[in-house]
Structure 1
Amino acid sequence: MFRRSQLESVKAWIANPAHAAMPLHARIQRAVRQLIVDGALGPGKPLPASRALAASLGVSRDTIETAYAQLHAEGFIDRRVGSGSFVAEISEFTPGRRRSRRDTLPSDPAPALSRRGAAVFEGGGVREMPVPRPFAHGVPETRTFPLALWERLERQVRKEVGAQSLFHGDPQGTEPLRRAIADYVNLERGARATADRVLVLTSSQQAMSLCATLLFDPGDGIFLEDPAYYGARKAFEAAGLDCVPIRVDRQGIVVDHILAEPQRAKAVFLTPSHQFPTGATLALDRRLALIEWAARHRAWIIEDDYDSEFRYAGKPTACVQGLDPHGRTIYIGTFTKSLFPGLRIGYAVLPPSLVKPMTVARTLLDGHTAPMAQLTLARFMEGGHFGAHVRTMRGVYAERLDALAGLVRRHLSDFVEPQVPIGGLQMPCLLTGDLTERAAVDAARRAGIELLGLSALHAAGDGKAGFLMGFAAYTPFEIETAVRKLETAFRAATKP
Structure 2
Amino acid sequence: MKRVSASLLPPIALDPGADVPIYRQLSEWFRRAIVEGQLQPGQRVPSTRALAGELKVSRLPVLSAYEQLHAEGYLETFTGAGTCVAGTIPLGAPEKPRRGRSNATPAATSPARRIAARAQAMAGPEQTWLESQGAFRVGLPALDAFPHEVWARLISRHARRVDTESLVYGDPLGYLPLREAVADYLRIVRAVRADASQVMITTGAQHGVQVCTHVLLDAGDSAWMEEPGYPGAHQALAAVGAKAVLVPVDEDGLDVAEGIRRGPEARMVYLTPSHQFPLGVTMSASRRMQLLQWATRAGRWIVEDDYDSEYRFGGKPVPSLQGLDADGRVIYVGTFSKVMFPALRLGWLVVPKDLVPAFCAARDALDTCSPMLPQRAMTDFIREGHFARHTRRMRALYAARRAALLEAIERHLPGRLRVVGAEAGMQLAALLPDGMDDIALSRRAAQVGVSIRPLSQCYRGAACRSGVILGYGGVDARAVDEAIRRLAHCL
TM beyond 0.5:
yes
What is the CA distance between 1:462 and its match in structure 2? Answer: 3.8
CA positional deviation for 1:13: 4.5
What residue in structure 1 maps to residue 466 of structure 2? 465
The residue aligned with 2:40 is 18
Q: Distance in 1 between matches of 2:377 and 2:132?
A: 24
Aligned to 1:230: 231
How far is 1:24 from its partner? 6.5
What residue in structure 2 maps to residue 456 of structure 1? 457
The residue that corresponds to 1:178 in the other structure is 179
**Identity across the alignment (%):** 34
How far did 1:478 drift?
Answer: 1.4
Q: 1:177 to 1:105 in 2, by over 3 A?
A: same
Aligned equivalent of 2:120, options 108, 118, 121: 118
Q: Which amino acid aligns with 1:21?
A: R
Q: Specify whether residues 115 and 58 from structure 1 end up closer, same or farther in structure 2 by C-alpha distance, changes over 3 A only.
A: closer
Who wins on radius of gyration, i.e. which is larger? Answer: 1
Distance 1:349 1:372 in 2: 22
TM alignment of 1:184-223, pairs within 5 A: 184-223=185-224
Residue 107 of structure 1 corresponds to which residue in structure 2?
110
- Write the distance in 2 (CA, Å) between the matches of 1:250 and 1:51: 77
Q: Please report how far the alpha carbon of residue 460 of structure 1 lies from its aligned counterpart in structure 2 after TM superposition.
A: 2.7
Q: Are residues 274 and 365 of structure 1, via their aligned partners in 2, closer, same or farther at CA, if it must alter by over 3 Å?
A: same
Shift of 1:117: 3.2
Tell me whether 1:132 sits opposite 2:133 in the alignment: yes
Of 344-353 and 356-365, deviating more is 356-365
SS in 1 for 2:399: helix
SS of 1:18's equivalent?
coil
Alignment-derived partner of residue 4 in structure 2: none
Query: Could you tell me how far apart the structure 2 residues matched to 1:210 and 1:239 are?
Result: 10
Distance between the aligned counterparts of 1:213 and 1:50, measured in 2?
53
CA offset at residue 293 of structure 1?
Answer: 0.9
Q: 2: distance between equivalents of 1:55 and 1:220?
A: 65
Structure 1 pair 10/463, CA: closer, same or farther in 2 (3 Å)? same
The answer to whether the 8 A contact 1:182-1:198 is kept is yes
Return the alpha-carbon distance in structure 1 between the equivalents of residues 26 and 151 of structure 2. Answer: 57
1:324 aligns with 2:346: no
Greater shift in the superposed pair: 309-318 or 147-156? 147-156
Q: Which amino acid aligns with 1:317?
A: V
Residues 447 and 26 of structure 1, relative CA distance in 2, 3 Å threshold? farther
What's the offset of the Cα at 1:214? 2.0
Name which structure has the greater RCO, CA cutoff 8 Å, separation 6+. Answer: 2
Q: For the residues of structure 2 that align with 1:411 and 1:331, how far apart are their CA atoms?
A: 40
On the 8 A contact 1:13/1:27 being kept in 2, the answer is no
User: Contact 1:262–1:293 (CA<8 Å) still a contact in 2?
Assistant: no
Structure 2 counterpart of 1:296, which letter?
Answer: R
C-alpha distance in 2 between matches for 1:125 and 1:209 = 22
In 1, Cα distance between equivalents of 2:168 and 2:116: 35
Whole-Å separation in 2 of the counterparts to 1:428 and 1:359:
37
Gaps of 5+ in 2: 1-18, 53-60, 76-98, 102-106
In structure 2, the partner of 1:243 is 244
Between the aligned partners of 2:411 and 2:472, the Cα distance in structure 1 is: 17
Contact 2:48 2:62 in 1 (8 A): no
Distance change in 2, residues 1:124/1:412 (3 Å): closer
Q: What is the rounded CA distance, in whole Å, between the counterparts of 1:426 and 1:457 in structure 2?
A: 14
Instruction: Encode CA deviations 1:389-416: one digit per residue, 9 max, x unaligned.
Output: 1111001001100100110111122532
After the TM superposition, which residues 355-394 of structure 1 pair with which residues of structure 2 at under 5 Å, given as runs? 355-394=356-395
CA spacing shift, 1:9–1:202, aligned 2, 3 Å: same
CA 1:54–1:309 in 2, change beyond 3 Å: closer, same or farther? closer
Residues 15 and 304 (structure 1 numbering): CA distance in 2 closer, same or farther, change over 3 Å?
closer
Partner of 2:261: 260
Shift of 1:58: 5.2
For residues 250-303 of structure 1, give each alpha carbon's deviation from its aligned partner in whole angstroms, at most 9, with x where no partner exists. 110111112335633111111000000111101111111111111111110000
| Structure 1: stretches of 5+ with no match in the other structure | 30-48, 64-93, 97-103, 491-496
Aligned to 2:308: 307
Deviations 1:208-241 (A, max 9, x none): 1111122111111101111100101121123211
Amino acid at match of 2:110: S
Q: Secondary structure at the match of 2:40?
A: helix
Distance in 2 between residues matched to 1:50 and 1:476, nearest whole Å = 62
Range that drifts further, 332-341 or 427-436? 427-436
Q: Is the 8 A contact 1:218 1:240 kept in 2?
A: yes
Deviation at 1:326, TM superposition (A): 0.3
Equivalent positions of 1:33-44 (< 5 A) are: none
Contact 1:10/1:28 (<8 A) preserved: no
Change in Cα spacing, 1:15 to 1:428, as seen in structure 2 (3 Å) is closer
Q: Deviations over 1:102-154 (max 9, x none)?
A: xx99413x53323333333x346999959722111111101111121222233
Return the letter of the residue paired with 1:107.
S
Q: How far, CA to CA, are the matches of 1:8 and 1:54 in structure 2?
A: 7
CA contact (8 A) 1:200 1:347 kept: yes
CA apart distance, 1:353 = 1.6
Cα distance change of structure 1 residues 26 and 369 upon mapping to structure 2, 3 Å threshold: farther
Work out whether residues 416 and 433 of structure 1, in 8 Å CA contact, stay in contact via their aligned partners in 2: no
Structure 1 residues 469 and 22: CA distance shift in structure 2, 3 A: same
Distance 1:488 1:27 in 2: 62
Secondary structure, aligned partner of 1:347: strand
Match of 1:353 in 2: 354
Equivalent residue number for residue 296 of structure 2: 295
Query: For residues 460 and 55 of structure 1, what CA distance do their matches in structure 2 show?
Result: 65
Offset of residue 22 of structure 1: 2.6
Question: In 2, distance between residues paired with 1:154 and 1:230?
Answer: 33
Q: Secondary structure at the match of 2:322?
A: helix
Instruction: State the alpha-carbon separation in 2 of the partners of residues 462 and 56 from structure 1.
Output: 65
- Against the structure 1 CA distance between its residues 421 and 254, is the aligned structure 2 distance closer, same or farther, given a 3 Å change threshold? same
Alignment CA distance shift 1:55-1:276 (3 Å): closer
Cα 1:282–1:14 change in 2 (3 A) is closer
Compared CA separation, residues 27 and 418, structure 1 to 2 (3 A): farther
Deviation of the 1:10 alpha carbon? 6.7
Q: Please state whether the residue corresponding to 2:442 is helix, strand or coil.
A: helix
Mark the CA change 1:387 to 1:275 in structure 2 (over 3 Å): closer, same or farther. Answer: same
Structure 1 58/257 Cα, relative in aligned 2: closer, same or farther at 3 Å?
closer
1:431 aligns with 2:418: no
| Residue of structure 2 in register with 1:143 after alignment | 144
Look up the match of 1:276: 277
Matching residue's letter, 1:241: A
Deviation sequence 1:135-179 (CA, Å, 0-9, x none): 111111011111212222334444566453233222211111000
2:281 maps to a residue whose letter is A
Q: Does structure 1 conserve the Cα–Cα contact (< 8 Å) formed by 2:131 and 2:451?
A: no
CA distance in 2 between counterparts of 1:119 and 1:125 reads 14
